Amino acid sequence: MNSLPNFEWVQVAYALLTLFIVINYGMVMTAVVRKIGARVGGRYGIPVWQNYIDLAKNIALRSKITHGVMFYLGPVFRLTGGVGLLLFVPTIYGSEWHQNFSYAGDLILALYFIFFGTLGMALGAGESGHPHSAIGVSRGLSQVTMAELPLALGVYALSLQYQTLDITEIVAAQQGSIFNWTVFTNPLATVAAMVAFVGTMMRSPFDVVIAPQEIPIGPPTEYHSSYLALMQTNRVLFPVAKTVIYMNLFFGGATSWAEFAIKVFCLYMVSVVIGVVHPRFRVEQSIRFFLKWGLPIGVLAILTV
């Protein structure tokens, strides 16, 4: 009876350690990715420690500007989506302490967390008072909704294939050989989900929300000080957390931190390479892409199972 509370506190401590490791890994990896993009464009790029400098600088700033409660809860909801997604998903398979708070049915919760942050930012942007905020909200929710469609179909195909909604059991079923990975046993579901993955990473050609080449507005200019620091933290955490989901579901998961680092980096680079070589879609082109390619492949994945 006395050991249960101690176990819970130890579990919380290891979950926070996992969060700390992933945030720092994301800080370094996103800086490396930005440097790669700069080198492709003939520029030198930022140093790998620049993200830490920017984060510390923004945390130290304060602001007296008020836009309403929901405006400031937007970054909080956004970060909550990234933190919740990571903490309710197993990180290292076979490690008792890095299972985090995963449980039976955690795959459904993970899908909710993927959408939660975007919805929170939409509510925050709606109270910013900016005349163009509705543009970003409509773009963001439209694209994320269309990207979630092939992902949901791919996940449904996986649940039929493995007869479970437990991510740990899905990872366990992929152990033993590389050919047990879902990418080999169910390639259609993998392709459908990867279409959604590239779309939700918010890189070209799917960066239609902020549209940096079109309008200098959006969360990076609307938010400031510690609120921008929350968004910066989520910007390095949320993509890695989403990549962990795909690693677990389709690429065998990770049994060590070294395997985790390699697989996450390789999957992350898929969206980076596509973003470097492709120009940005218009909104209707982005939505049409998911309906034309992601939706039919997802349906075929379910039919084949």
Residue 223 near residue 67, CB atoms below 8 Å = no
Dihedral pair phi/psi, residue 47, rounded to 5°: -70, 160
Tokens linked to 188 = 């259609």
**Mean pLDDT score, 250-255:** 92
* pLDDT category of residue 214 using cuts at 50, 70 and 90: low
Residue 251 pLDDT greater than 90, yes or no: yes
Distance from C-alpha of 131 to C-alpha of 296, rounded to nearest angstrom? 37
Q: What is the pLDDT of residue 179?
A: 93
Mean pLDDT of the chain: 84
**Mean pLDDT score, 15-31:** 90
Mapped onto helix, strand or coil, the DSSP state of residue 169 is helix
Does the bond joining 187 to the residue before it have cis omega, within 30 degrees of 0? no
Residue 74 pLDDT greater than 50, yes or no: yes
Provide, rounded to the nearest whole percent, the portion of the chain with pLDDT above 70.
93
Q: What is the pLDDT of residue 252?
A: 92
* pLDDT category of residue 117 using cuts at 50, 70 and 90: confident
Q: What is the pLDDT of residue 3?
A: 45
* pLDDT category of residue 120 using cuts at 50, 70 and 90: confident
Residue extents of the structural domains in the chain: 3-304
**Mean pLDDT score, 130-150:** 80
Residue 300 pLDDT greater than 80, yes or no: yes
Tokens linked to 149 = 């469609």
Distance from C-alpha of 283 to C-alpha of 302, rounded to nearest angstrom? 28
Q: What is the pLDDT of residue 262?
A: 93
Residue 73 pLDDT greater than 90, yes or no: no
Q: What is the pLDDT of residue 286?
A: 85
**Per mean pLDDT, which of 55-69, 103-117, 283-297 is the most reliable?**
283-297
Residue with tokens 């740990």: 168
Residue 213 pLDDT greater than 60, yes or no: no
Q: In sequence order, what DSSP letters do the residues of 56-70 get, joined into one string?
A: HHHHH--------HH
Residue 127 pLDDT greater than 80, yes or no: no
Residue 17 pLDDT greater than 50, yes or no: yes
